[in-house]
Amino acid sequence: MDFSYTEVQQMLQDSVQKFVQKSYDFDTRNKIIGSETGYSADNWQLFAELGWLAVPFSEEDGGLGGSAVDLMVIMEEFGKANLVEPYTATAVLGGSLVANLATGEQKETLLEGVIGGELQIAPALAEPNGRYNPASVSTTATADGDQIILNGTKIAVENGPNADTLLVSARESGEIRDVEGISVFAVEAGSPGVKIRKYRTVDGKQAAEVTLDHVSVAASNRLGDAGAALPGIESALNRSIVAVSAEAVGSLEVLLQKTVEYSKTRKQFGTAIGTFQALQHRMADMFIQCQLARSTVIMAAMSLDSDDSSDEKAKAVAAAKSRVGKAIKSVGQEAIQIHGGIAMTEELDVGHLFKRVTALDLAYGDGDYHTQRFAAL
């Protein structure tokens, strides 16, 4: 039993911390997210140079062979800084979809693009009536000679406005929630029939609603075998859930820390509000929530890195997302409450973190959804 970081993980953590300290203060972060693309292309290049974009991929695929725990280390630091670059969309979920499903040449080009920092991916999995179930796919893929015709609507497509390539799940056969019959297609963002309705999410990030109206792609754009994509999607989602959960844990820790600091300096009734037991116990509870959430993320990351069966892995991941969801609500809301009115403004980073973790709670399924998934497994 060993819960300490390896030397490499320690170095990874140091390197992210150094970057954040040097070039990611609150004002800089706000400028970046307020820019047209909502992320910094320079930072992205730097991430490539530092090897961060290669961490999620096996050495065979040209990556650094990073584990889920490695990913957890990076994401927690990103969460502390409320970093806005689309790391999860492109390098974790997008990249893992390619790594899990694609074969041969296609994999090589796409992953080279991701690792080199030249390619932005937008995974397009969710649909208007599918909630968080990746098997709930009604977008259709119909063969037409050598081509495949895609029709349907995808929602909450993270990184959609900046993507070069969309990874679209579509059904080639079967009924709406059938396990079989789903494929993932790489679709160029500019393809005829692809309509990208851009928007900003509540936490200021870039997303889109994507409609596919008779979009024609070559059969070679299908990642892997026809109709067999679901296990690869689920495995990519498991990794992404660990990533966003770790990000949330980092953000929650900062919310707790800022709340405690604020309570030491804010004076009312002639004394620091942190001396009031009514608030102290609530902050103690925030600490407990942070610790429990962290424990489940560690559990899930270790499970993904182990020989556990795919059901065991899915169950550990579902437990983590469920538990983190609970912590997000309580720690996030208490941070706002204890700060009082000032946290209702854009002026303080606390509100920005609160909005971010609220979005993270929904990412790839909220707590309730994953509790149900846990119970069903």
Q: What are phi and psi of 223, to 5 degrees?
A: -85, 110
Exactly one of 323, 339, 352, 355 binds another protein (CB under 8 A); that residue is 323
Residue 56: closest CA among 6, 23, 98, 109: 98
Q: Are strands 165-171 and 121-124 parallel, antiparallel or unpaired?
A: parallel
Helix (H, G, I), strand (E, B) or coil at 87: helix
Instruction: With beta carbons less than 8 A apart as the criterion, state whether 124 and 200 touch.
Output: no
Residues 66-95 contacting another protein, CB under 8 A: 69
Q: Is 319 in the site for another protein (CB under 8 A)?
A: yes
Q: Is 312 in the site for another protein (CB under 8 A)?
A: no
Is residue 320 packed enough to be buried (19+ CB in 10 Å), middle (13-18) or exposed (0-12)?
buried
Asked if residue 5 binds another protein (CB under 8 A), the reply is yes
Nearer to another protein, 72 or 184 (CB): 72
If binding is defined by CB under 8 A, does position 322 make contact with another protein? yes
> Under the criterion CB under 8 A, does residue 184 sit at the interface with another protein?
no
Among residues 4, 265, 268, 271, the one that binds another protein under rule CB under 8 A: 4
Stretch touching another protein by CB under 8 A, among 146-154, 158-166, 233-241, 314-322: 314-322
Measured from the CB atom, the residue of 15 and 295 that comes closer to another protein is 295
Q: Candidates 47-55, 76-84, 116-124, 289-297: pick the segment binding another protein (CB under 8 A).
A: 289-297
Is-contact 142 171, C-beta < 8 A?
Answer: no
Locate 160 and state its tokens: 């959609």
Report d(CA 96, CA 115) in Å as an integer. 12
Q: What minimum distance in Å lies between the beta carbon of 288 and another protein?
A: 5
CA angle 273, 279, 285 (to 5 degrees): 145
Count the site residues for another protein by CB under 8 A: 41
Q: What is the DSSP string of 131-193?
A: TT-TT----EEEEETTEEEEEEEEEEEETGGG-SEEEEEEESSS-TT-STTEEEEEEETT-TT
Task: For the CB of residue 236, give the shortest distance to another protein in the complex, in Å.
Answer: 22
Interface segment toward another protein; rule CB under 8 A; list 106-114, 142-150, 169-177, 288-296: 288-296
Q: Pick out residues in 245-284 that bind another protein (CB under 8 A).
A: 260, 263-264, 274-275, 277, 280-281, 283-284
Give which of 45, 29, 37, 157 is closest to 82, Cα–Cα: 29
Per CB under 8 A, residues contacting another protein are: 1-6, 9, 69, 260, 263-264, 274-275, 277, 280-281, 283-285, 287-288, 291-293, 295-296, 298-299, 301-302, 305-306, 316, 319, 322-323, 368, 371-372, 374-375
